[in-house]
Structure 1
Amino acid sequence: MKTFATACLAVLLTLPAAALAAPKKGGKPQASRLVPVVLRTEKGDIEIELDEARAPKTVRNFLMYLDAGLYEGGVFHRTVTPDNQPNSPVKIEVIQAGINPARQFEDKGPIPLERTKDTGLKHVDGVLSMARDTPDTATSDFFICLGDQPELDFGGKRNPDGQGFAAFGRVVKGMDVVRAIQQSPRTEQKLTPPIKILKAMRKQPTPKG
């Protein structure tokens, strides 16, 4: 069993960022298959939409952890910037988060990799994607892309296996918070201290009238 720190390091050294590609009908995903979620962090709120229609297995996995309260008390623990990847020929920009460190023992089994060539999702600015080591090893850690990251898509060179990462949602509000987290104090790629997730929940629709 990997330690939390070791797992985070292995995951993010191969980590890509992901984004949503435009769907074929009308330019927008079907609203009924977009799941709104709010991550309330120490730096502010990040509102996201999960694309259940195109990445169903990955979204169900994320919501399993969310609904169990495991992201509450979780942390953004890693930041990847242009200047802190000296050993990586292919540079990316992402921030990575995981479940509450005190509840790591509740991490579930790994899920199948939903490749971008199959989902049609791309690692663009604001996309959420799952951190992993080898294919089919993602569990609960996820990352958010800052800027477009095509090397994280299927066929990209960030991960030597070329399989890319599983994009499954996007930030719809709060990219200023994402950037603030990325620029927070760090030691190499480790955020020091990590940025806490105070609350993680499905967003309730605003009442009309």
Structure 2
Amino acid sequence: MLPFLALLAQAVAPVPAPAPTPTPAVSNPAMAPVKVRLDTAAGPIIIAVDREHAPLTAANFLRYVDGKKLDGVAFYRAVKVGDGYGLAQFGTRNDPKRTLPPVAFEPTSKTGLSHVDGAISMAMAKPGTAAGDFFVVVGDLKSMNAHDAEPGFAVFGRVIEGMDVIRRILGSPTLPTEGVGVMKGQMLAPTIRIVSARREP
């Protein structure tokens, strides 16, 4: 199994799409999406967390929100893979005071979700290692879905407000010498602080 960074380097490729992929319909009203607001130094972002189609991954993210473990973390990585394509990554960066145990892997082949523009997904080294780091997709990157022998990554929701903020973060300056391996040149300088992460009413 390739580590997350190597897999990401191979997997991230823009895929043209004639129309956006709709989010699967909610069949259980009790599991309707939960809105989470990230107040960041670049502006607010609102995420619809999909508890019905990705229950384990969604619950993991909500544990970080409810435990206030994302307050004070940052967007620290911007991966640009073409004009209008890429991802912005944030999270605990393995801080032992913030990071919870890894969550079981829910591939897109199981959830029916996809790495479309605005999708939020879990960073991981391999399936079963995802914990407290997340990324938001800019553009259509369905190559990050599960396919053939590749596990892909676990989508669990979508940004419904604030994609302009995500695009500003993706376009923010990076240090050409910072980062290890394929992350070199992708580390934001400065990072974009998340002031708070809270459920919306």
Shift of residue 108, structure 1, vs aligned partner: 1.6
Judge conservation of contact 2:73–2:193 (CA < 8 Å) in 1. Answer: yes
TM, length-normalised to structure 2: 0.81
Counterpart residue identity of residue 74, structure 2: V
Task: State the superposition RMSD in angstroms.
Answer: 2.2
- Give 2:121's match in structure 1, choosing from 105, 116, 129: 129
* Structure 2 residue 94 is matched with structure 1 residue 97: no
Counterpart residue identity of residue 166, structure 1: A
- Name the residue aligned to 1:88: none
Match of 1:148, SS?
Answer: coil
**Number of positions where the alignment pairs a residue of Structure 1 with one of Structure 2:** 177
CA spacing shift, 1:21–1:137, aligned 2, 3 Å: farther
- Name the residue aligned to 2:192: 195
What do residues 1-43 of structure 1 show as CA deviations (whole Å, max 9, x unaligned)?
A: xxxxxxxxx64453478x97432xxxx4355420000000000
What do residues 78-136 of structure 1 show as CA deviations (whole Å, max 9, x unaligned)?
A: 000026xxxxxxxx61010003x695433121111101011000100000000001111
Quick one: distance in 2 between partners of 1:192 and 1:67? Answer: 28
Judge conservation of contact 1:129–1:166 (CA < 8 Å) in 2. Answer: yes
- Name the residue aligned to 1:170: 158
Q: Aligned ranges for residues 45-60 of structure 1 at < 5 Å? A: 45-60=44-59
Match of 1:105, SS?
Answer: coil
Judge conservation of contact 1:45–1:177 (CA < 8 Å) in 2. Answer: yes
* Structure 2 residue 23 is matched with structure 1 residue 22: yes
CA spacing shift, 1:135–1:119, aligned 2, 3 Å: same
Match of 2:88, SS?
Answer: strand
CA spacing shift, 1:45–1:60, aligned 2, 3 Å: same
Match of 2:132, SS?
Answer: coil
- Give 1:145's match in structure 2, choosing from 123, 128, 137: 137
Judge conservation of contact 1:12–1:131 (CA < 8 Å) in 2. Answer: no
Judge conservation of contact 2:94–2:132 (CA < 8 Å) in 1. Answer: no
Quick one: distance in 2 between partners of 1:179 and 1:38? Answer: 17
What do residues 120-179 of structure 1 show as CA deviations (whole Å, max 9, x unaligned)?
A: 0010000000000111110010000000111100017xxxx6001000000101000000
TM, length-normalised to structure 1: 0.78
Judge conservation of contact 1:12–1:96 (CA < 8 Å) in 2. Answer: no
Q: Which structure 1 residue ranges, 5 or more long, are not aligned? A: 1-9, 84-91, 205-209
Q: Which structure 2 residue ranges, 5 or more long, are not aligned? A: 13-19, 176-184
